Amino acid sequence: MEQNDLIYKPTHSKILEDGSFTWKAPSNIALIKYWGKREPQLPENASISFTLDACSTLTTINFSKGLPNENIDFDIYFEDEKKDDFKPKIEKFFERIKQYVPYISDYNFVIKTRNTFPHSSGIASSASGMAALTLCILSMEKALNPDISDELFYKKASFLARLGSGSAARSIEGPLVVWGEHHKIENSSDLFGIKFSGTVHENFKNYHDTILLVDKGEKQVSSTVGHNLMNNHSFAQQRFVQANENMIKISETLKTGDLKSFISIVESEALTLHSMMMTSHPYFILMKPNTLEIINKIWAFREKTNSNICFTLDAGANVHILFPEKEKESVNDFIISELIQFCQNNHYICDRVGFGARQIQ
């Protein structure tokens, strides 16, 4: 598929004066990490993530026809409050996607958005947020051109969401999404995410992700600054090769159900991501003492009980604890008795693998 195939071409005379659409899009947690990108928002290596279920963004757009405008006219509300400081990011997003969805220039928008996870939880909402907004816009396209196939709809959604935030490309479908071209993964592309089409063992069905909120503050390093750290990084090229090798290893593991191998790939990916930040210029340590306390407790628990619990991290101090459905009782007991003491105000979120975004209205 070429990028030009994703440009909207009016094929119908449908008229859309005004209306509204609502979508709920999930967050995702990368098993193999995307860290390092080039223009326009293309990943330096392939990545794969579990789509989440509970952590999501609910977005409604109200649109009405206005005078065609160079700059798209919109207001944005977050949790019922007008948020002008969110505008620059969305303006940039509209600017990037306009050539593929030219009809947006004919409308004025009111965007209302909220997250299902608590405000200031330190959980990035850009993936779910950009995915939900994109899907609302694409619902307009579907109204203008009802013949658009589901396949093209979801591909284009991922393609556009990527232009808002790279990881948003993985927040459209589920339960496992690959983003980034990989010679061993058929149909994989730098332009959009695809559903992982390999065999997935029973062990990974309904996998759990409990998110321990170690630090609920603003991100210390924005994702743009973070990805830029990989430009001219001494280890960057090797890291991109390693990530692509890990993609092959994890595909095999997902097929065989080998949980020990899954653990070693996933934890190594998390620590490698943080090592990249520690060895860049400028350098950062995004883990907090409690992040390490949690990791050590997880390792001790695994040693003692032979559990298949493991952790992963994104670009911050919070810890995602991954575990299979059949261990949910024992791991929940362990989390409550030994880990939540390391969370800010004892806060944590229980989530699990989900199946992608849903249209609400």
Q: Which residues bind ligand DP6 (CB under 6 A)?
A: 30, 33-35, 37, 41, 47, 124, 126, 165-167, 223-224, 227, 273, 314-315
Interior angle at CA 37, CA 269 and CA 84, nearest 5: 105
13 vs 145: CA distance, rounded Å: 9
Residue 183: CB minimum distance to ligand DP6, A: 20
Query: Given the structure tokens 């950009």, which residue do they identify?
Result: 130
| Residue 167 or 307 with smaller CB distance to ligand DP6 | 167
CB closest to ligand DP6, residue no: 166
166 vs 126: CA distance, rounded Å: 9
Residue 40: CB minimum distance to ligand DP6, A: 11
Residue 118: CB minimum distance to ligand DP6, A: 19
Could you give the dihedral angle defined by the CA atoms of residues 5, 7, 11 and 16, in that order, rounded to the nearest 10 degrees?
150
Residue 199: CB minimum distance to ligand DP6, A: 23
Residue 307: CB minimum distance to ligand DP6, A: 25
| Residue 136 or 273 with smaller CB distance to ligand DP6 | 273
Residue 298: CB minimum distance to ligand DP6, A: 19
| Residue 265 or 273 with smaller CB distance to ligand DP6 | 273
Q: 237-243 long-range CB contacts below 8 Å, 24 or more apart?
A: 239/35, 239/36, 239/45, 239/272, 239/276, 240/36, 240/44, 240/45, 242/272, 243/32, 243/33, 243/45, 243/46, 243/47, 243/269
Q: Are 265 and 246 in contact (CB under 8 A)?
A: yes
116 vs 132: CA distance, rounded Å: 13
| Residue 22 or 189 with smaller CB distance to ligand DP6 | 189
Residue 222: CB minimum distance to ligand DP6, A: 8
Q: What is the DSSP letter of 346?
A: G
| Residue 36 or 331 with smaller CB distance to ligand DP6 | 36
- The strand pairing partners of 177, in sequence order, are 49, 195
The backbone region for 354, taken as left when phi is positive above 0, alpha when psi lies in -120 to 50, beta otherwise, is beta
| Residue 294 or 315 with smaller CB distance to ligand DP6 | 315
| Residue 62 or 125 with smaller CB distance to ligand DP6 | 125
Residues 6+ positions from 147 with CB-CB distance below 8 Å: 11, 12
> Hey, how many other C-beta atoms are within 10 angstroms of the C-beta on 69?
12
